[in-house]
Amino acid sequence: MCSQILLKLKLNKNIQSTAKKVLTQEAEAILQVSAAINSEFEACVEHLLASPGRIVFTGIGKSALIAQKIVATLNSTGSPALFMHAADAIHGDLGMIQRGDSVICISKSGDTPEIKVLVPLIKRLGVSLIAMVSNKQSYLALQSDFVLHAQADEEADLLNLAPTTSTTVALALGDALAVCLLECKGFTSQDFAKYHPGGALGKRLYLKVADIYPQHEFPCILPQASIQDAIHEISSKRLGATTVMNEKQELLGIITDGDVRRMLEKQQDWANIQIVQMMNSNPKTISSEAFATEALAIMQEKNITQLVVLENEKAVGFIHLHDLLREGIV
């Protein structure tokens, strides 16, 4: 029994050691590539910025998978890109390349048979060729207009065979390329929202208060209303508060369910209490054109759950914390 426990502890120690070794080796490889970023990388970015066409990524095996991820990142950050599998390219997919495009080929060795067949076909199309390669003396690198040096001397596995360090380095270099392009283009969070309209992330970037508040009825009472009227309005509209408006539809204040509870605790005879005595005459408001994230920030800062929505300085509704929870903003 003791020997089994010792063996398990030894195995666990080996597993942890291996995991740390892999992560350290890949991190060091990325730092090595970072230190080698030079004017050629800068010239490549400038070329892509000036090119009228798309960025076409190609590769074989695991490099093809990395290429697809980089394409997705570029498309989502305002740099039109597409993926062409190196093996399919010679069977018709070369037709997706148009004049003005730039082709980035990912290959660790730069000397695989598929790449050697593909390179002259790409160059015959008259488009620029960019190599993302570990071996700068490879066939691919020597035939390319630009070389993005994704140096990976060793893979992370003991056999030095499984694409691990090399694919991590290529992926990180692709991210660096995408971020450089988006910063040079002045890509903003609003631009990002255009390409990410779905999900909580997209909503945080584009959803406005005006998109939310019309979902509710607008609770409103006059200043001469009774406490019972206020309670009924708060309960029936289910927003935890009601506005107090005069005949000119001007906002005088709000009454929350908390205001009602505090009043009941302090007063035994509350039938004759006037609305203006218990309302908050300086309620927190927000413009209907503000982003929902701004509403959330105010609620968090003020520790409140609702805001009065204004349009052209007129109160038109409420936005509630529950609305933001439902939309996935929180």
Any residues with CB less than 8 A from the CB of 256 and at least 6 apart, and which? 234, 240, 241, 280, 306
Residue ranges for the binding site for Zn(2+)? 85
What would the DSSP string read from start to end of 39-106? HHHHHHHHHHHH-SS-EEEEESTHHHHHHHHHHHHHHHTT--EEEEEHHHHTTTGGGG--TT-EEEEE
8 A C-beta contact, residue 288 and residue 213 = yes
Least Cα distance to 147 among 250, 33, 228 occurs for 33
Exposed/middle/buried for residue 97 (C-beta within 10 Å: 0-12, 13-18, 19+): buried
User: Which amino acid belongs to residue 38?
Assistant: N
267 phi and psi angles, rounded to 5 deg: -115, 130
Least Cα distance to 255 among 237, 275, 238 occurs for 275
8 A C-beta contact, residue 244 and residue 253 = yes
Q: How far apart are CA 209 and CA 293, in angstroms?
A: 9
What would the DSSP string read from start to end of 250-266? -EEEEEEHHHHHHHHHH
8 A C-beta contact, residue 252 and residue 244 = yes
8 A C-beta contact, residue 181 and residue 48 = yes
**What separation in angstroms does the CA of 58 have from each of 83, 99, 103, 180, 293?**
6, 17, 7, 20, 39
Residue ranges for the binding site? 85
